[in-house]
Every structure is written in structure tokens, then in C-alpha cells.
Amino acid sequence: MTKASIKVVKSDPPETKQVLAEAVTRISEGFAALEKSGLNRKAIIILIQAETKLPLRDIRLVLDALPRLKGWYCR
């Protein structure tokens, strides 16, 4: 009977709070810029759905939450 060897790989260290806060801020600001780009909300939803094949309901939920991310997770 042979023993199988298991290789343990350490994951990257977790991101700092500062890095996560900056990422959330950039995501919120990026979405605000997308909304001001001239594409209306329906066009944005259709483009995302065509690329991802995700249900429209899920896309709408995420898009509704994006502007509030900064308020939820950043002080």
C-alpha cells in the first residue's frame, strides 16, 4: 500500500483593509462613470447579459448594489 503525498500550497496573504477600500471605491466610481457614458441602464444590462449569460434579475441586483458599495464597506 502506497501513501499519496499531498502538497500544501499557501495562498497569497489577505489584502489589507486599505487596498480593499480603494478597490471598492474604484468599482463604485467606475460604475458611476459607465452610467454617465451615454449608455442607458437597459443597454448596460443587455451587454452584460450577452457576454455572461447571467439572468437579467441577477445583473439588475448587482447594478443596483454597485453605487452603494462604498457606503456599505468604506468609512
Q: What is residue 1's predicted lDDT score, i.e. its pLDDT?
A: 60
Any domain includes 1: no
E strands in the chain: none
Q: What is residue 15's predicted lDDT score, i.e. its pLDDT?
A: 82
Residue ranges making up the domain that contains 62: 17-73
Q: What is residue 60's predicted lDDT score, i.e. its pLDDT?
A: 96
Q: What is residue 62's predicted lDDT score, i.e. its pLDDT?
A: 94
The grid coordinates of residue 19 equal 487596498
Any domain includes 56: yes
Q: What is the mean pLDDT of each run of 10 residues along the chain (75 residues)?
A: 74 85 90 90 95 96 90 83
Task: Report which of 28, 39, 23 is spatially closest to residue 62, judged by C-alpha positions.
Answer: 28
Number of domains observed in the structure of the chain: 1
Any domain includes 7: no
This prediction's pTM: 0.68
